[in-house]
Structure 1
Amino acid sequence: MEYKPAIMSASLGRAWLHDLDYKIEQAGKAGFKGIEIFYEDLDYAARKLSGNDSPTSEHILQAAQNVHSSCQTQGLEIIGLQPFLFYEGLKDRDQHARLIEKLKLWFKIAKTLGTNTIQIPANFLPAEQLTGDREVIAADLRQVADMGAAENPPVRFAYENLCWSTHNDTWEKIWDTVKRVDRPNFGMCLDTFNIAGREWADPASATGKTPNADENFKLSLEKLVKEVDVSKVFYIQVVDAERMESPLVAGHPFHLDGQPARMSWSRNARTFMYEEERGAYLPAEDVAKAIISGLGYRGYVSMELFSRTMAEEGKQVPDQHAARGILSWKKFQERLNLN
């Protein structure tokens, strides 16, 4: 498979401010070939359909059908539905059961969208709500993988470490989990921000980096290339982030009590690749090279973004984000000599 650029629907603007159909239109016009659909966008579209804040499953599925039609019009493949949040390792097994029921609706949504992939971010609920038992975590994820395999067509799951996840916050930990799950339809989404943002960067540090960042990160990427099975990399997300002018601690504009600094950083200050004028500073390209040149990954490259810029008002916001994203892709394509 050749390399193709994708973008996440939420990267083009917040759902409550920017129309989903318009965001899809701008993604297609900019030159993207694929799109990740963010559930929040579907939910908001369903609220508009229903006329209230409690849309039914039927409204959600109608919104998904509308999105599928819009994407077909724009020549966009829906590469995944995300994020299926706060699932694995729950101590509250009643909530676990409720999420299993919720997943059955997500299967219907995925089928309606015409995608075969659901993304699961590694759980970031407070530690007291979760078990750190890696076998329990793997068993929970094996359960959804088996459910997905029984669907027609089968559904696969892309598990992603977030750099603030409670237990699985590194590529190495999610790779360990993928091996424990041991199902053909269970793999990974590797994200340059979440890898570099945990092992190389620290927004709460005055240096913006972890101790011994360069040496440790080099060894980590060498290990990734040596150990990961590329067939388990279902797609990748390529994104950078701003270096904070001051440590992201209490008193910083992005700080929220009880929220990990890396989460606050992620929600407010990611950038597209190569946006040095916006403060981009991560070794994100090194991560991408390890995955593409080192592992031999081929497939979709999603130019994902979370940023305070997504909450700006004005119809131009999706246009601007689509233009920034495709410019980033073109430079990425050139620098990595991608076909």
Structure 2
Amino acid sequence: MSIDLATLTNIPISYASCSIGNSSTPLPEKLDALSKAGFKGIELSFPDILSFGKLHLGHEVKPDSYNELEKVAAEIKDMCKERNLKIMLLQPFANYEGWPQDSEGHKDALERAAGWIRIMQACGCDTLQVGSTDTPIEKLDKSRIIPDLCHLADLLAAHNFRLAYENWCWSSHAPNWRDCWEIVEAVDRPNIGLCLDTFQTAGGEWADPTTSSGIIESVPREELEGKFHKSMMDLGNTIPKNKIYLLQISDAYKVPRPLDSSPDESGLRPRGRWSHDFRPLPYNGGYLPIVEVAKGVLRTGFRGWFSYEVFDGGPEGKDMEREWDLASYAQTARNVQDRLIMECGGKKL
């Protein structure tokens, strides 16, 4: 089924605040660049709240100092309003679901949920992005995953907030869109939906950073392409458009040397390591079939937020902290959106 280009012209565009500049770039400068480039919203990233908190309050802010974080978030809300930017989501809420009842992990998850809801109230956003946990499966009680997410959805619903559940392709229990969609259906709350992502989808179902080719080699290439195409068609025919809350967009560099297939010393799996440092903007050196993912999402009828979330350490993955021309980079991202929309609508550039 073709996608009518005319229906794509008013898709709102957002940018993850963690994905522009480097770790020392002040948040106000990021917001200025994104606003001037024509972005309409941001995903507010928790590390940016912490770093701006130090700038705003004059001292380090601890991740669980929620009284101070509320003050910082309220100031960020005002800064975004001045720049006509909507805070459309708070992210990344991780390692929440599946802890054994009464464990320290479960207690910490509940405390963080309550604290992050306070931050959402202060900054004026209504959606919490939750990544499918990558806690090692042997540490989890899988029977708790659905009840935990039901509980979180109910906590959010009390404030008219939503839960955007994302498949992280290195997740220990839900690495692809089908896994997360089955969970969302089982949770069965009106305020839970999906955060889909071009990198997480193509990077999990088509690509593989542990192979010399950069793609999955356990099946022949033709079969792989067919399976991936079918998956994207199934996505378009399966998920109701109102159950997609946003599409995050990035590409991936092929790693210069295949990554070790074992978890690293911190327990992070290879696709997680790849995700952290090798994700450029589309059309800037990557190789994933991101247009096919975007088309799959658009075939559902979804016309909501396209949000750019990149972690560009360069082709070697070692240059995250380089100096950026923020205005130029933000404009490049804006131009990428125009090209992506044209290609989704059948206009090859």
Pairwise same-fold verdict (TM > 0.5): yes
8 Å contact from structure 2 (residues 147, 187) kept in 1: yes
Write the distance in 1 (CA, Å) between the matches of 2:142 and 2:157: 26
Q: Does residue 244 of structure 1 match 2:255?
A: yes
Write the distance in 2 (CA, Å) between the matches of 1:263 and 1:319: 29
**Displacement of 1:265 after TM fit?**
0.8
**Displacement of 1:14 after TM fit?**
3.5
Deviations 1:87-119 (A, max 9, x none): 001136332133222222211211221111000
8 Å contact from structure 2 (residues 210, 261) kept in 1: no
Paired position in structure 2 for 1:119:
129
Deviations 1:69-97 (A, max 9, x none): 11111111111001111100113633213
Selected match of 1:89 from 79, 98, 105: 98
Q: Normalising by structure 1, what TM-score?
A: 0.90
Deviations 1:193-214 (A, max 9, x none): 1011000000111121113321
% identity of equivalent residues: 32
Q: Does residue 307 of structure 1 match 2:315?
A: no
Write the distance in 2 (CA, Å) between the matches of 1:143 and 1:220: 30
The structure-2 alpha-carbon separation of the partners of 1:89 and 1:18, relative to structure 1 and needing over 3 Å to count, comes to same
Q: Does residue 297 of structure 1 match 2:266?
A: no
Deviations 1:115-170 (A, max 9, x none): 1100000000122222334xx2111000011111112xx11000000110110000
Paired position in structure 2 for 1:148:
156
Per mean C-alpha deviation after superposition, the further-off stretch among 235-244 and 305-314 is 305-314
Deviations 1:270-316 (A, max 9, x none): 111122xx2x1111110100111x111011100111222673243x3
Paired position in structure 1 for 2:203:
197
Q: Which stretches in structure 1 are left out of the alignment for 5+ residues?
A: none
Residue type of the alignment partner of 2:290: A
8 Å contact from structure 1 (residues 190, 235) kept in 2: yes
3-state secondary structure, aligned to 1:178: helix
**Displacement of 1:268 after TM fit?**
0.8
Pairs aligned (count): 325
Write the distance in 2 (CA, Å) between the matches of 1:132 and 1:207: 34
Paired position in structure 2 for 1:100:
110
8 Å contact from structure 2 (residues 247, 307) kept in 1: yes
Write the distance in 2 (CA, Å) between the matches of 1:313 and 1:27: 19
8 Å contact from structure 1 (residues 7, 303) kept in 2: yes
Write the distance in 2 (CA, Å) between the matches of 1:174 and 1:246: 30
**Structure 2 counterparts to residues 219-258 of structure 1, below 5 A:** 219-249=230-260, 256-257=264-265, 258=267
3-state secondary structure, aligned to 1:175: helix
Q: Does residue 59 of structure 1 match 2:64?
A: no
The structure-2 alpha-carbon separation of the partners of 1:52 and 1:290, relative to structure 1 and needing over 3 Å to count, comes to closer
The structure-2 alpha-carbon separation of the partners of 1:330 and 1:127, relative to structure 1 and needing over 3 Å to count, comes to same
Write the distance in 1 (CA, Å) between the matches of 2:328 and 2:268: 29
3-state secondary structure, aligned to 1:311: coil
3-state secondary structure, aligned to 1:24: helix
**Displacement of 1:180 after TM fit?**
0.3
8 Å contact from structure 1 (residues 196, 287) kept in 2: yes
Paired position in structure 2 for 1:324:
332
**Structure 2 counterparts to residues 15-34 of structure 1, below 5 A:** 15=23, 17-34=24-41
8 Å contact from structure 1 (residues 18, 318) kept in 2: no
The structure-2 alpha-carbon separation of the partners of 1:256 and 1:99, relative to structure 1 and needing over 3 Å to count, comes to closer
**Displacement of 1:322 after TM fit?**
1.6
Selected match of 1:263 from 266, 269, 272: 272
Write the distance in 2 (CA, Å) between the matches of 1:317 and 1:139: 45
8 Å contact from structure 1 (residues 193, 238) kept in 2: yes
Per mean C-alpha deviation after superposition, the further-off stretch among 163-172 and 324-333 is 324-333
3-state secondary structure, aligned to 2:142: coil
Deviations 1:226-270 (A, max 9, x none): 22122110111121111123312289xxx9444211111111101
3-state secondary structure, aligned to 2:151: helix
Residue type of the alignment partner of 2:238: E
8 Å contact from structure 1 (residues 266, 307) kept in 2: no
Paired position in structure 2 for 1:45:
52
Selected match of 1:215 from 219, 226, 240: 226
Residue type of the alignment partner of 1:287: V
